[in-house]
Structure 1
Amino acid sequence: MSGNRMTARQFVGREIRHARESKQLTRAELAKTFPVSESLVASWESGRLIPKTEYLPHLTGILGLPDVILRILDDLVSREVAPEWLDKWTRAESDSSALLTFEPLVVPGLLQTEDYARAVLRLGKPAPLDLEGQVSARLARQKVLTREDPPLYHAVLDEAVIRRPVGGPATMRDQLMRLVDLSRRDEIIIQVIPFEVGAHAGVAGAAIVLANINGSEVAYVDNALRGEVVEKPEDVAAIRRLWQMLSAKALHEDASIELIMKAAESWET
């Protein structure tokens, strides 16, 4: 936004807030009618997020939003460039010809089973009201790996990823066997850095992903808040060097899958 010019997202968010207030509803009260989290309603009203299509009939019914708002949602907001932390990376991810990732803690989102994703998204959130919506969104992103011309996906995992219990033994076993199944695809490579390597460049770092789009690269670095899309060439190059160092420390693909299978056996119930 430049100056005081209001974006379509902000305009719609303002109208949602005005409609809610005219109905004398608090954000918490509106959130419970879906149910979603109060913070999600706040994100709608600030323009940081737009309501998903499936929420619109209920939102319109509760607040009585005019048709013009729905038209703006369809015609403008859905095509507007979203805030960087929200939409830029998912668009880069879906358009990529190659994705290189390193994960020190959990299985990457594009490889997660539904139960594992649910367990991860629940962490730190005892009862998130919009948990199922978050799970659905994560699973929807995985379609990039099954499109007609999928990207090369090369994941490097620390062994802690396959040893740390997430969601219970059955969830862990199913998740690890999914990794084994996915590794059979020609375009998916999974490597594991074993504990015996000791300390390495990724131990104190966060998850990273590099996406190659039409010969140029962008990167994503995870953090405790919302992640960061990195586009400066020198920064992307540094992240690529880090990923290459980590890949070099990892076991060969076949040995990695053997280790994953042994870990899966350890989660037998």
Structure 2
Amino acid sequence: MPARRVVTGRSQEPRRRFAEELRLLRAGRGDSLRQLEEVLGWTASTFGKMEGGQSLGSPEVVEALDQHYGTAPMLLTLWELAVADPSQFKEQYRRYMALEAEAVSLWQYSVSRPPGLLQTPGYAREALAAGGLQGDELEQQVDARVGRRKLLDEAEAPPFRVILSEMVLRNALRNRREWRGQLEHLLEAAERPNVALHVLPFGAGLHGLDSTDSMFLRLLDGRTVAYTENDVRGELVEEAGKVERLHRTYDAVRDLALSPAESRMFILRVLEEVPCEPST
């Protein structure tokens, strides 16, 4: 086991701390990036990006590195801290992200894209790239968004109710294989006991959230906060009266939506319309 690292201020920067540990472990072992590729199977580029802080990699890669260096579960623990670090999100989301991690239950309405908690890496990458991100910043934001999914994977995951406008299911990715993967992931999520997924079909009628993504969090202290977002801006809403009005609107939208069982069938029908052949 390598010598224990001294705790420093870098512990307040989990992503940087994780990358540094990877570099130190490889240097101490005398491995090259190419040797890691040969032994573990992932590309040298993957390990290089992780050590450079451009990517966090997947938990499978990190677990393999933990085994290789004999450090388990240290690297996976550092990876989890880096994934959960709110500082990797853009400023307007940071307060919301910190609260989301503490939520005991969640509700969401999505206008045109799957909620971040249910996005696949392929979907997140294309969506963020469409917003102008590229290079290292793109990879960092993909890692951050996909990392949020672990909130629903925990042993005591909070209940999550999500309403998807039909537009979410019709606004396909260019890469058909990735799009099929996203739809399949929604179906898998809908089978979880803590997830209630509803589809709001076209023609259900006008409602108060037509153009606004809305997220609600019930916190440990009993408060509920909301986060609303449109194409122009996002806003964290904490004033009780405003949150209550938004939540009533959300409940009215839920009454218009399909049941979870009907919604799963609806997504299956959409999936059947997607070509099986990979994009070229």
Same fold per TM (> 0.5)?
Answer: yes
Pairing 1:151–2:114 present = no
Query: Identity of aligned pairs, percent?
Result: 28
Pick from 93, 97, 101 the counterpart of residue 90 of structure 1.
97
Describe the SS at the equivalent of 1:197.
coil
Q: Does the CA-based 8 Å contact 1:84-1:229 persist in structure 2?
A: no
Q: Distance in 1 between matches of 2:198 and 2:138?
A: 30
Q: Secondary structure at the match of 2:203?
A: helix
Residues 157, 194 of structure 2: 8 Å contact kept: yes
Q: Does 1:209 align with 2:237?
A: no
* 2:266 paired with 1:259: yes
Q: Relative to structure 1, is the Cα distance of residues 235 and 261 closer, same or farther in structure 2, using a 3 angstrom cutoff?
A: same
RMSD over aligned CA atoms reads: 2.9
In the TM superposition, residue 229 of structure 1 has moved relative to its aligned partner by: 1.2
Equivalent in the alignment of 1:53: 16
TM-superposed CA distance for 1:99, in Å, is 0.5
Residues 260 and 152 of structure 1: CA distance in aligned 2, closer, same or farther (over 3 Å) = same
Q: Cα deviation per residue 1:108-156 (whole Å; 9 max; x = unaligned)?
A: 0000111011111111317354111110011111111112211100000
Give the 4+ runs in structure 1 shifted more than 4 A: 54-58
Q: 1:92–1:79: structure 2 CA closer, same or farther, 3 Å change rule?
A: closer
Aligned mate of 2:169, from 151, 154, 162: 162
Q: Deviations over 1:63-104 (max 9, x none)?
A: xxxxxxxxxxxxxxx899x99724211111111111000001
Segment drifting more, 208-217 vs 163-172: 163-172
In structure 2, do the counterparts of structure 1 residues 253 and 83 end up closer, same or farther at CA, with 3 Å as the change threshold? closer
Q: How far apart are the structure 1 equivalents of 2:199 and 2:190?
A: 12
Query: What are the within-5 Å matches in structure 2 for residues 108-187 of structure 1?
Result: 108-125=115-132, 127-187=134-194
Amino acid in structure 2 at the alignment position of 1:210 = F
* Corresponding residue number in structure 2 for 1:249: 256
Q: What is aligned with 1:28?
A: none
Report the Cα distance in structure 2 between the residues aligned to 1:136 and 1:84, rounded to whole angstroms: 16
* Residues 123 and 83 of structure 1, relative CA distance in 2, 3 Å threshold: closer
Distance of 1:83 and 1:218 partners within structure 2: 19
Question: Against the structure 1 CA distance between its residues 96 and 126, is the aligned structure 2 distance closer, same or farther, given a 3 Å change threshold?
Answer: closer
Deviation at 1:225, TM superposition (A): 5.4
Q: Structure 1's 245 and 127: CA in aligned 2 closer, same or farther, altered over 3 A?
A: same
1:212-227 equivalences in 2 (<5 Å): 212-214=218-220, 215-224=222-231, 227=234
Unaligned runs of 5+ in 1: 1-11, 13-49, 59-77
Residues 129/225 of structure 1: CA separation in 2 closer, same or farther (3 Å cut): farther
State the distance in 2 between where 1:244 and 1:216 align: 17
Equivalent positions of 1:13-32 (< 5 A) are: none
Q: 8 Å contact 1:122–1:131 — kept in the other structure?
A: yes
Q: Which secondary structure state, in structure 1, belongs to the residue aligned with residue 178 of structure 2?
A: helix
| 2:86–2:98 Cα contact (<8 Å) kept | no
